[in-house]
Structure 1
Amino acid sequence: MDRISLGNDEFEGRNNAYVLADDARDELALVDTGIATDGVRSDLRAGLAERGYEFADVDDVVLTHYHVDHAGLAGEIQAESGATVYVHGADLPLVERDPGAVAAADERRQTMLDEWGVPADAQADLFAFLDAASGIEGTPPEATPIEDGTVLEVGGWTLETVHTPGHAAGHCCFETIGASVTQRTEGEAVSDGPEAFVGDAVLPVYTPNVGGADLRVDRPLETYRESLERIADRDYDRVWPGHRDPIADPTARARDILDHHRDRTAAILEVLRERGPVDPWAVSQRLFGDLEGIHVVHGPGEAYAHLDQLRHDGVVTVENGRYRLEEPDVDLAGIDLPTE
């Protein structure tokens, strides 16, 4: 396995495309592809060329989820190579950019922006960003659906699909079966436990956005928390994220992110005590300050994910899009939140 670092100025830092190759069997696969911009396309072509490959050599593309910084070049690679593109069935319509699925996602975004209280000028800034970035999704591929438990034989590797929704409805990790990445690339490993390609489920620096990154996800915070628990329970020796460097203790990192969300919930409760009732945009402003570009949806989406969870926990009520504490003196210990 080899990692190609790809440019990304808008999201969680430089993207990773992972090269899985078995030269003896003439098999080549990629896990994720990066955004369809000239710079990233050049990065990926150059990275493959350094390893003796080109787009036309790729047999399989495995996508962790539909976001353009992971799937943007999949269609172009498929056009040159005939590669099979794998993605979870929940994300397949958006990877293929099915008109009905795209229209439904756009309608859902507009509905949620209005419900969250996002003002017109901030919405205009978001839409200007999206219009300017309209080319980065690239040419849509024809994709093959996978699901939790699907085993893929790609690039000489055996990968088990582990569905980890939250950041995206169809987000998946891919666990190595047999020898781990470390064993196969660095020789004898200290431990022989499994490793995984984890996309944006667990990141080394940032916490993946929940609530705004995929508006199709119901109960986004609870869904993501369950995925983090699943990753922690699998106790990987190391994971290979969609951005930045490998994570040497992914269980601890998953627990750190769970704790981060507990702390964020506490901060939101404090906002509700001081200023409630409030809408998600007001909470977002308090937590994140002024927002622009894609963060116009990510910020209030994150606030909404927590407020929605508090509503399901019976801690807050919502009326006309504004959330109010039922009991101002509520104790976090009484709420079903993750702990170590």
Structure 2
Amino acid sequence: MQLLTDGVYRLRKATGANAYLVDTGDSSVVIDTGTSGGASALIAELRDEHGLGPVTDIVLTHYDPDHAGSASALQRETGARVWIGARDADILRSQTPPPTRFRRFLARVWRASEVPASLHELPDAGETEIVPGMRAIAAPGHTPGHVIVEYRGVVFAGDAVMVSKGRLRQMPSVLTSDKPQALETEHLIASLRPRLVCPGHGAPGRLTAP
């Protein structure tokens, strides 16, 4: 694991997308899990670490297989609660189709994620406490039920934004379900004035430009 700041780690063995771990002292929370193909290596990485609190919670920023693919395997290993936005939970369960034509095409060619045994659904608006000091905040745009996670000034952004040269950048438009919502979410992240942004793709970074 790569230490980013106090209690915040990047999991090196996740595949497809970045995964992170927050050690709160009493417990640990994993944010995103990478693709299903990396599940065994991810679990081994967690087993090899000593001195961390047990993994009690897994927060999925959204339903895409490169973020949610290993959630079921990690849940079986740890017994953790799995959190995801309510609208993305419906898509993950195949109860609702993906929101755009391109995303429906991707659903036909991507390997679908195994649905965890139970899901704790996050509301479409507002914020929810995951553990003391950590909140999941509704942040739609990339997907309908996308969420971000904030912990002590660190924002785990999923695919809401990337970080480049101290600025927030949008993901490619073809992957964005609702562009106006995505821009509102970018403004939301900036308004939090994070000391560190941990995106789903690319390196974590600090914002240095207005």
Instruction: Please tell me the TM-score bracket, short chain as reference.
Output: 0.7 to 0.9
Alignment-derived partner of residue 12 in structure 1:
none
Shift of 1:47: 2.1
In the alignment, structure 1 residue 165 sits paired with structure 2 residue 158? no
- For residues 128-180 of structure 1, what are the alpha-carbon distances to aligned partners after superposition, in whole Å with 9 as ceiling and x for unaligned? xx44x42xx33211211112211110xxx52122222111111111112xxx3
Normalising by the residue count of structure 1, what TM-score does the alignment of the two structures yield?
0.51
Name the CA distance, whole Å, in 2 between partners of 1:138 and 1:52: 29
8 A Cα contact 1:7 1:43, kept in partner: no
Structure 2 residue runs without a partner (length 5+): 1-7
Give the partner amino acid of 2:23. A
8 A Cα contact 1:199 1:241, kept in partner: yes
Alignment-derived partner of residue 101 in structure 2:
109
In the alignment, structure 1 residue 143 sits paired with structure 2 residue 119? yes
Secondary structure of 1:249 counterpart = coil
Whose strand fraction is larger, Structure 1's or Structure 2's?
Answer: 2
In the alignment, structure 1 residue 196 sits paired with structure 2 residue 155? yes
8 A Cα contact 2:34 2:66, kept in partner: yes
Alignment-derived partner of residue 213 in structure 1:
175
Alignment-derived partner of residue 90 in structure 2:
93
Name the CA distance, whole Å, in 1 between partners of 2:75 and 2:136: 21
Instruction: Give the direction of change, closer, same or farther, for the CA distance of 1:45–1:77 in structure 2 (3 Å limit).
Output: closer
> Aligned match of 1:4 in 11, 22, 30?
11
Give matches, 1:3-22, under 5 Å. 3-5=10-12, 6-8=14-16, 15-22=17-24
Shift of 1:204: 2.5
Alignment-derived partner of residue 31 in structure 1:
31
Alignment-derived partner of residue 41 in structure 1:
39
8 A Cα contact 1:92 1:143, kept in partner: yes
8 A Cα contact 2:36 2:69, kept in partner: yes
Name the CA distance, whole Å, in 2 between partners of 1:83 and 1:163: 21
Shift of 1:22: 4.4
Instruction: Give the direction of change, closer, same or farther, for the CA distance of 1:83–1:225 in structure 2 (3 Å limit).
Output: same
Alignment-derived partner of residue 3 in structure 2:
none
> Aligned match of 1:84 in 81, 85, 91?
81
Normalising by the residue count of structure 2, what TM-score does the alignment of the two structures yield?
0.79
Compute the RMSD of aligned alpha carbons: 2.8
The size of the alignment, in residue pairs, is 194
Alignment-derived partner of residue 227 in structure 1:
185
8 A Cα contact 1:58 1:77, kept in partner: no
Give the partner amino acid of 1:31. I
Instruction: Give the direction of change, closer, same or farther, for the CA distance of 1:172–1:105 in structure 2 (3 Å limit).
Output: closer
Give matches, 1:259-274, under 5 Å. none
Give the partner amino acid of 2:80. A
Give the partner amino acid of 1:62. V
- For residues 44-70 of structure 1, what are the alpha-carbon distances to aligned partners after superposition, in whole Å with 9 as ceiling and x for unaligned? 1232133139xxx53211111111111
Structure 1 residue runs without a partner (length 5+): 9-14, 114-122, 181-193, 256-340
* Regions of 4+ moved over 3 Å: none
Percent identity, please: 28
Instruction: Give the direction of change, closer, same or farther, for the CA distance of 1:207–1:105 in structure 2 (3 Å limit).
Output: closer
8 A Cα contact 1:76 1:138, kept in partner: no
Secondary structure of 2:21 counterpart = strand
8 A Cα contact 2:161 2:170, kept in partner: yes
Secondary structure of 1:80 counterpart = helix
Give the partner amino acid of 1:246. P
Give the partner amino acid of 2:20. Y
Name the CA distance, whole Å, in 2 between partners of 1:170 and 1:109: 17
Secondary structure of 1:161 counterpart = strand
Whose helix fraction is larger, Structure 1's or Structure 2's?
Answer: 1
Secondary structure of 2:127 counterpart = coil
Q: Return the index of the structure with the highest Cα Rg.
A: 1
In the alignment, structure 1 residue 245 sits paired with structure 2 residue 207? no
- For residues 108-132 of structure 1, what are the alpha-carbon distances to aligned partners after superposition, in whole Å with 9 as ceiling and x for unaligned? 638x99xxxxxxxxx7xx78xx44x
Secondary structure of 1:34 counterpart = coil
